[in-house]
Structures are given as structure tokens and as C-alpha cells.
Amino acid sequence: MDKTISSGLRNLFLIHAVVGVLVGIPLWLIPGRFLLLVGWVPAMVELPQSKLSVPGPTFVDEVITRLLGALLVALAVSSFLGYRAKKWEQVELVVRLEAVSCVLGCISVIVTGLFFLDRPMPSFGWAVAAVLAVFGLAWVLAMRTRAARSPV
């Protein structure tokens, strides 16, 4: 039995794709500058027991940040393909992947911000947690709504 995709799920795919591209491409292409722009790293960091200071983006791990950007762009591509799909069977796995990644991402940001950072979490970090929470909830609701409609 073919089940079509609701317009709400299609819109969720499209919004997720746009957000993924808007955050993923700068993280992939200009990680230090982007993290400086959003307040994740300070402009200058004073070295301990010294009067010397160095640019904050010096401490950005470019490999892992670019990898995160690439993964966000990849998820955006999968969301765009989900937006173009017509049947639930074509997107079910993507919806599950998006739900798990958003929920685990939200938990990771919150736990790190509360327990592991040696400084207060930047506002951008809490904004990321909120966006991930909203997307996670939306993906889980899409799964549950579809499961409720499916015959057993």
C-alpha cells in the first residue's frame, strides 16, 4: 500500500535542507571565521600567564569543524531529496536518520554546555540546541503520525 507524503512533512524536509545548507556550508568552507561570527570563539584569546594574545579562531579544529559542515550539507541534500519524493517508503529511513541525529545532537549540545565547557555556553550554542530540539520533535512526530496511520 503506497502512502503519500504530507505537505507538512515536505515542508519540514525543505526547511531542514535550507537550515542545513545555511549552517553547513560556512562550517565547511570558513570554519574559524564562521564560529567567530556566531560568537562560538572569541576574537582574541589571552595566553595563560602571559600578556600575549592570539586570534580565537586559531583554536578551532578545522578538520572536525569542516567534517561537521560536510555532514550538515549531506543531511541537507538528503532532506532535499526527501522534499522531492512522493511516497513515504522513499523517505522513511531518512526521517528516522534525521530524528536520531537531531535528538542526539540536542542532547550533546545541552550536556556539553552544562557540564563540560570551562566557560558559559555561547548564545549560539543554546540556539543550536533549540533548533535541534524543534527539528527532533518534528521528525519524531512525523514518524509517529505515519506509524499511527499504518496498518499493523
What Cα–Cα distance (Å) separates residue 1 from each residue in 6, 41, 84, 92, 148? 16, 51, 20, 14, 15
Q: Which residue has the higher pLDDT, 35 or 147?
A: 35
For residue 37, being part of any structural domain is answered with yes
For residue 31, being part of any structural domain is answered with yes
**Residue 74 scores a pLDDT above 70:** yes
For residue 2, being part of any structural domain is answered with no
Cell numbers of 83, please?
522534499
* Tens-place pLDDT, residues 61-70: 999 999 999 9
**12-18 long-range contacts, CB within 8 A, separation 24+:** 12/135, 12/138, 12/139, 12/142, 13/79, 13/80, 13/82, 13/83, 13/91, 14/79, 14/80, 14/83, 16/75, 16/76, 16/79, 16/98, 16/135, 17/76, 17/77, 17/79, 17/80, 17/83, 18/76
pLDDT averaged over every residue in the chain:
93
For residue 72, being part of any structural domain is answered with yes
Note down the domain range covering 113: 7-149
In this prediction the pTM is 0.89
For residue 93, being part of any structural domain is answered with yes
**Residue 127 scores a pLDDT above 50:** yes
Number of domains in the chain: 1
Q: How confident is the model at residue 146 (pLDDT cuts 50, 70, 90)?
A: confident
**Residue 3 scores a pLDDT above 90:** no
**Residue 149 scores a pLDDT above 80:** no
Distance CA 58, CA 36 (A): 10
For residue 1, being part of any structural domain is answered with no
**pLDDT score recorded for residue 145:** 87
* Tens-place pLDDT, residues 130-141: 999 999 999 999
For residue 105, being part of any structural domain is answered with yes
